[in-house]
A and B are shown apart, each in its own frame.
Chain A
Amino acid sequence: MEREPVAALREAAGEGVEYDGLTARLSDGNLHLVVEGAETTVDDDSPDVVPDAFVPYVTNWYYWRETAPQRPAERTFLRWLEGATDDADRATVPDRYDALVDGIARTWGELLITTMLTDEDQRRYQVRHIDDRDVPVSDLQTYDDPDDVDAIARRDDRDRYRPLRTAPTLRTGWVFPALEPDALVEVVGAFYPATIENWYREREGDLDVTHYREAAERQTGRYRSVSELPVEALEWAAEACCVDSQCLKRREWDEDGETELDVPRGEGVFPCREPCSLFVAAAREWTELEREGSRTFEFELTPSEKAQLDDLVDAVAEGRVEEIREADLDEGANRYRARYLRAKRFEDGELPATERGEDS
């Protein structure tokens, strides 16, 4: 094997090394190595001769010591990617290496991140959209600069602007084929800003969650009113914005420290620690709208037309409008069906209705 990892290990062994199942120390000036079920002393005259069984342990130590970033959050993330975090099911280094030869894949939001071993037992990381998992690299647009992420993440597959980076609308068709570790964390941080840091804080048990009421109190200017949003409206708002179909963060905030919302938090791997700016902007709108009381209206529709209104709302809410085929007249949210309803029932763009007074 290469000399540098052994030389570096010898230097570190003076203070004793214990890492991923490798123990290294100096005895009588010789480098002594212990791994599960074996030990050896490296001959000073030929430091590159290390028995095969020890090589993965030594190169693994060297990678994490010399190449991988030292920041705890990034380091833990990279170790998690290859199943090397201190979880109960942690694989031994040789088993991990076997898997790394084929590549170990994990998902992070819509990213599929594959860790691979290079010839020098270093790691390279490939990032692509999860939906492109089976697409050959040659069919994808390749990138290697973290600064390119912004251009990919800015718009969805239908070319619409994505104001929320963690919305499940990341476009497909691109790949970062082989990133070094520092660039990998930059790329992930550009697709999903601050997710590695907050995920790490949560693992360490110190995620700082700011609940809705506290976040609302902080607002000034045009967002000051959001503190008046009633709790049932807050539930509806979280259901509208924060569930997995809309945002890949797992909502960890609630109304306040005592009052949990009933809406599912989501299954996302990284947490949401406080209402985001998009949520607050939406909450402002709903705070204004909730100032109106309900009324009873009377208008005429056939039962099918009533069902059609249900279909229309559902199609918009689920983002299905674009999928509805031109001539699919069974579908209530079909454009011709909507135009027919408007032609039949609407006057000047409105459904004529008689108001029956304000509800209590």
Chain B
Amino acid sequence: MPALVVVSHGSHLNPESSRPAHEHARRIRETGAFDTVRTAFWKEQPHFREALRTVSSEEVYLVPLFVSEGYFTEQVIPREFRLEDWDGWDSDGTSAVSATLSAADTGQTVHYCGPVGTHDAMSDVIVRRAESVTGNPDVGDGVGLAVVGHGTERNENSAKAVEYHADRIRARGRFDEVQALFMDEEPEVDDVTDYFASEDGEVRSASGHSSGRDPRDIVVVPLFIADGYHTQEDIPEDMGLTDDYRTGWGTPASVDGHRIWYSGAVGTESLLAEVVVERAVDAGADVGDTLEQLRERGDDAPITSERVSDRHG
């Protein structure tokens, strides 16, 4: 029976960084779809270099819990896992599916999957995040959605992934408007309200109550795997949800006459476990009814952080 290894960045400073990997691995482990479900980290343990030797299966599905293709998925992970003859996925930046390679460390057959962040199902996770943060399963009408990414940072694919999902969600016509915004490039998240003009007339609020002449409501979902200083400090301050992240912010918070629902990192949404499994399925894994099992339980609350004070760094 094959094994699944969930590959994540981890952190030396932020204890929240590895929680999504641990939590999603736990959910998938409970389904019994794989012989073993392990986590592996760049900054924590087991390190990428040693993870495969803790797995006895001859066949391993390696799924990066990263938001986009780029430096980590294309250089660091293949090098550190010692994937032989790796020369890319033949992807346009958001279309990686998988590559089957041999691991020099253990001789295992490794199906190296594209990152969770560019899988089509991630669009559903973003929408689910919008539902969970507003508490409204039908959120969309009269509401704008902003998907926020880091931006250029070492590769342009990070922006591509954000735009990819914004385009897909926009095409569904569920939200009045959908925007891709970034921390360090245009269009910037700092100016979030500029991208969602208020409208006159009847608009519906994100919480589902019709509310007359309210300005447009905005839901902001960061396409990040874990909560850390970007999602819990920079973005809330940049958007003007709060002057000082330590004092917190309202959900919704009021900015320039708009109400803004700001969710935590999309990677903490429990539904992400399903995307991890989808990645393995696309690479050929036979998982029986695991996806249905996860979907049934996908209504679980998002992974909440243990405490806010740890989110520095």
Contact = CB atoms under 8 A, between A and B. Distances in A.
B66 to A, nearest CB: 15
Contacts, number: 61
B209 to A, nearest CB: 38
B: interface residue count bin: 20 to 34
Contacts of B138: none
A208 B71 CA distance: 26
Contacts of B53: 194, 197-198, 201
Nearest to A220: B75
Interface stretch (A95-103, A168-176, A271-279): A271-279
Interface stretch (B9-17, B86-94, B219-227): B9-17
A193 B46 contact: yes
Nearest to B40: A193
Contact of B76 (A193, A220, A278): A220
A147 B29 contact: yes
Contacts of B247: none
Interface in B9-51: 11-15, 22, 26, 29, 41-47, 49-51
B79 A218 contact: yes
B231 to A, nearest CB: 17
A163 B47 CA distance: 12
B56 interface: yes
Contacts of A164: 45
A343 interface: no
Contacts of A155: 15
B299 interface: no
Contacts of B310: 161
A177 interface: no
A150 interface: yes
29 contacts: A71-B56, A147-B22, A147-B26, A155-B15, A163-B12, A164-B45, A165-B45, A166-B45, A189-B54, A193-B47, A193-B50, A194-B51, A194-B53, A198-B53, A201-B53, A208-B105, A218-B79, A220-B76, A220-B79, A221-B154, A273-B50, A274-B49, A276-B45, A276-B47, A277-B12, A277-B41, A277-B44, A278-B43, A281-B43
Interface of B: 11-15, 22, 26, 29, 41-47, 49-51, 53-54, 56, 71, 75-76, 79, 105, 154, 310
